[in-house]
Chain A
Amino acid sequence: MNILVCIKQVPDMGGRFAPNTFGTWFEDAGLVFRMNDCDEYAVEEAVRLKEQLGGTPDVTVLSIGPARVVETIRKALAMGCDRGVHVDDPSASERDPWQISSMIAGHAMSRQYDLIFTGMQSEDRGSAQVGVLVAERLGISCVTGTIGFGWRDGIVTAERELEGGLRGMMRLTAPALLTCQQGLNTPRYPTLPNIMKSKKKEVAVLRPEEVGLDGSLSSVAGFRTHEHKAAGLVLKGDSGDIADQVVALLDSKTTVLRRGGVR
């Protein structure tokens, strides 16, 4: 049994984003990169299935991007994936979802993967397209926003999250692709021995042309700060002083500090 997990390296969202010269995306400088959060659920679910099946499935983790993404591939290997594929594409951040899906599908086309796990969406782009497009290109079944997963003899049961806390249940047959969502599992922290072991695991490097990079269907401009309406009042400094000011504000603007106060 073969499993593919697709992961993306993204910057920590707490960072400050500066547009690049062309206004298409952000400059890397000053940002801290890590695995996209939804993709951690994808890696964890693949590794859990491998463990459930006594270690027999072979789990490949694939990432597209510049040299720095190998670090994130290594983290997935330390979590328990068997081998890595790095599509070395320094221009990955300029590619649209259609192009990213062309490279993943190009890799997967000849590999006979029984299951493909991806994140539901990336934190930086949030398009929620790539996983579904890969499934469409491969002509396999796809469930998005997966928050529950079961496997028995080639039959997948999956739960997907709907609005208002509802969970939709479905059953499908492999090969299948699942886009994973927060709530599916709790991703593990790699242990030190597994981190050491992961350094010896193979990471194949491929060029975008080798995996069938397609032309783009859209263009991007005007990457800019989203000017949010500023908070009414911003308080900084000593916590005690701020707490005094907040109490005064709650007194003047709300009734919540009045004993038995009325709404």
Chain B
Amino acid sequence: MRALLVGECRAGRLAEEISELSGFAVALGAEASMLLVGSLDDLPSFEGRLYFADSREYGAYNPEAHKRLVMEVVGRERPDAVVFLHSSYGWDLAPRVAAAMNAAQVSGVTGIDGGGYTVDSCNGKMKRTVSPLTPNVVLTLQSGAFSSPKLSGVLEVVRIDADPGSKVEFLGCTQPEEVVDLSRARVIVSAGRGIGKQEHVDLVRELAAALGGEVGASRPVVDAGWLERSRQIGITGQSVAPELYVACGISGAIQHVAGMKGSGFILAVNTDQDAPIAEVADVFVVADLVQFLPALTARIKARHGGSF
């Protein structure tokens, strides 16, 4: 088995999870080579052949040119599997490569199961095994699923070229607006889609105030405009690790959990007992938060004589 691992840069820096690609190759027992469109000043720790193209020439986001570079390496290495991270870079580029290779693609791989790959379905409540029927396969890996191996070997850099042209013109990136720093909060009470309506954000605020903590939010709540984007927790927001994290109506999508699983004590409040948030929760309260949150807030306030 030969695997071509496709590394990536984010905002000009090597993505940390690149080592998970090597971890997957080890789990698969594959002989691995890697492709990186990046900078020679910032190379990954990797053993073996690293095909390299400079991002100043091929762009940070230029899937047409990057596809050509991948296909150039596919022509040289003849890999059985081309492996990406399931990231904004990987899920965008992988299907283009799969189409060019006439290969099956399996997205969001979390495990290896015989000749197939395990993937999550239905918001993480179910899973299934997908097996390619084509000689080659394109994969994207769910972040956190494969651990990073210790690498000590020698890196052999091989420069490659392809047509850098693109029909899509990349105009650059905009930074997120100013962020409320939640990383130092001792208590965070977060609202998810399951709070149901905007008025219920007040119940979350009141509990946070009673506990002397900050209010956080999951992605859908921010998108609905119920809370500021600067309070978003997860892969596209902040990573936090307070002593107490209260997840109110948060189902526990991987993207959110990645940003809060390091919390000391996690209390989840949800009506759906099967919600994946249970995986990280120390205590799971199965209740309607409209009744439960005020009850909890009242008891905590009573403890502090009405104010913290």
Complex contacts, B126 vs chain A, CB 8 Å: 17, 26, 223-226
Main secondary structure of the interface of A (DSSP, over half): mixed
Q: Is A254 within 8 A of B130, CB to CB?
A: no
Q: Is A16 within 8 A of B243, CB to CB?
A: no
CA distance A173 to B275 in the complex (A): 42
Q: Is B107 within 8 A of A128, CB to CB?
A: yes
Q: Is B299 within 8 A of A247, CB to CB?
A: yes
Query: Taking the nearest CB of chain A, how far is it from the CB of B15, in angstroms?
Result: 8
Q: Is A217 within 8 A of B92, CB to CB?
A: no
CA distance A137 to B291 in the complex (A): 52
Partner-contacting stretch, out of B68-76, B156-164, B281-289: B281-289
CA distance A98 to B132 in the complex (A): 12
Taken residue by residue from 216 to 246, chain A's Cβ proximity to chain B (1 for < 8 Å, 0 otherwise) reads as 1111111111101111111110011011101
CB of B125 within 8 A of chain A? yes
Q: Is A235 within 8 A of B284, CB to CB?
A: yes
Q: How many residues of B contact A (CB 8 A)?
A: 98
Taken residue by residue from 159 to 186, chain A's Cβ proximity to chain B (1 for < 8 Å, 0 otherwise) reads as 1111111111111110000000011001
Q: Is A163 within 8 A of B87, CB to CB?
A: yes
Q: Determine which of B92, B124, B303 lies in contact with A132 in the assembled complex, contact meaning CB atoms within 8 Å.
A: B92
Q: How many residues of A contact B (CB 8 A)?
A: 83
CB of A143 within 8 A of chain B? yes
Q: Is A239 within 8 A of B291, CB to CB?
A: yes
- Closest-by-CB residue of B relative to A230 is B278
Q: Is B167 within 8 A of A166, CB to CB?
A: no
CB of B27 within 8 A of chain A? no
Complex contacts, B299 vs chain A, CB 8 Å: 243-244, 247
Measuring CB to CB, which residues of chain B are less than 8 angstroms from any residue of chain A? 10-11, 60-61, 63, 86-88, 91-92, 94-96, 98-100, 102-108, 113, 116, 119-134, 167-176, 179, 186-187, 211-213, 219-220, 223-225, 229, 232, 235-237, 243-244, 251, 264-265, 267-268, 272-274, 276, 278-279, 281-288, 291-292, 295-296, 298-300, 303-304, 308
Q: Is B243 within 8 A of A256, CB to CB?
A: yes
- Can you report 27 A-B residue pairs in the complex whose CB atoms are below 8 A from each other? A11-B122, A13-B251, A17-B122, A26-B126, A98-B105, A123-B122, A125-B121, A126-B119, A129-B95, A133-B98, A141-B167, A163-B10, A166-B174, A169-B170, A169-B172, A171-B169, A218-B134, A219-B130, A220-B128, A220-B131, A222-B128, A222-B129, A229-B278, A231-B278, A232-B284, A246-B285, A247-B300
